[in-house]
Structure 1
Amino acid sequence: MHKPALPLEGTDTFNDRIRIVLVETTHSGNIGAVARAMKNMGLGSLWLVNPKSFPDEASYARSAGASDVLDRARVVASLDEAIDDCVLVMGTSARGRKVPWPVMPPPEAAITASEATAGGCVALVFGRESNGLSNEELQRCHHHIHIPSNPEYSSLNLAMAVQVMCYELRMHYLRGLEAGEGSPYLKPMAAPGDAGWDVSLASVRDVEGFFGHLEQMLVDVEFHRRDNPRQLMTRLRRLFQRARLDEMEVNILRGILTAAQKAAGKQGAHSQSAGDDAPAPGQEKDHV
């Protein structure tokens, strides 16, 4: 038995006016993999033109929980049936043509497809695993989509090609949310102060206290000489300021410095040189 469908998140399922059309798919497992790729990116309209085998256990097994996309899939006998009510048809193609045809890479194709849904359904057409779309089928498309893969190994698995386009469609959708009400998906979380970071950014006072403590510890272990400093502290300052420490990280580092001073028999030596708010012994453990 195939896996039950995982629930679609209503707010992340978008634009059923964009349909993925697969032409004469040979391997039913690829149909399941395409359904999974679609559901990953919030798409659910799948049309199958004369598939060799569908539905079957292989397609549902490969869908990995996207069985609802397969349950809704429309099976038709010809490409005409799949695209007749569409206002825009875009077909994937890796081949050059004697007669030039409008062609665009996936990001631009996603924008064009999304904007066209304001007037009706849009079809993104993918061909056979072995030889893609025929010339006649490509001529039914308003635009061709070319995925700029490695020219020395340019053939993509069907589901991979669909995934590329579904990803670009989703990115365009999320950028639209970000420009409007806001989208949590595209906002980075790379440093303290970013939304979602668990600890506040350390203050200048905290960081300066750490630098004073660090210098004293380096003196205590005879690694650094204040009478001949060279550029040691300047470079260490540059290193740690580049890291943008948060409050917990400062406390952890100062705990390490205190432990090093204790091991060197210099515990408490820093208290006079820093003259600041060094954490008491063991305090840093409360923050780990």
Structure 2
Amino acid sequence: MDKIKIKDLEVYANHGVFPEETKLGQKFLVSADLYTDVRKAGCTDELEESTDYGAVCHFITEYLQKHTWKLIESVAENLTREILLTYPLIREAEIEIKKPWAPIGLPLQSVSVTVRRSWHEVYVALGSNLGDKQKHLEDAVKALDELEDCKVEKVSDFIRTEPYGVTDQDEFLNGCLCLKTLKTPLELLETLHDLEKAAKRERIRHWGPRTLDLDILFYDDIICQEPELCIPHVDMQNRDFVLKPLKQIAPYKRHPGTLKTVTEMEQELEERVN
């Protein structure tokens, strides 16, 4: 990926733990590595095909002067997020905030914090077998798309499937979506749980009936094994109600562990079942 680099932009702003820092203000130096594709801009020589670094500099200055935080960690985190939300061509940003006049009572050149954040590609499975199933799924898609740090990119058809695991319940309506997000895996998991709660999901029986079920299938190409979250989804290769709609929107997406495509997993499952 290409990079636009801004080095040591001087901003006088009011951030700090001590009252005199927030009242009197001080100088900060901001450096930014903005990762984007400049190929089209380079070929056309048109500014609108690139990210205007002058506009970004003014944005950084105005944003830091408009807000006040105690920690430069918060300055860096919030600024990076706002840059990614404001400039759609920027896929990833690394921001360094330097504080040359850090009041620690010792001689030093500066203290700095650097954060690197990016948009992530995530695939989520959706399911419902209670109430108005289609409305539950459509409401979940809409709610995710309306979140400031999530963008729904693709949604599969919703398909009717027989229940999995516990079969003495109504049929399911299932689908998959692809979204871009700034959230970490655990932050996204919490968001999905909040949407399930909003749909009045009750976790009474494992694999039992539910108004809304949202599962993270893939998050970029990471492999994550935490007590509360496993990515890729541990059982997706055995679930045709996941693979069929997922194949509609990502037929050649590869499982980072097995390196099999969604199409290959769906074909292998079909051969095992038949």
TM-score for both structures, normalised by structure 2? 0.21
Report the structure number with the largest CA radius of gyration.
Answer: 1
As a proportion of its length, which structure holds more helix? 1
Which has the bigger relative contact order, CA under 8 A and spacing at least 6?
Answer: 1
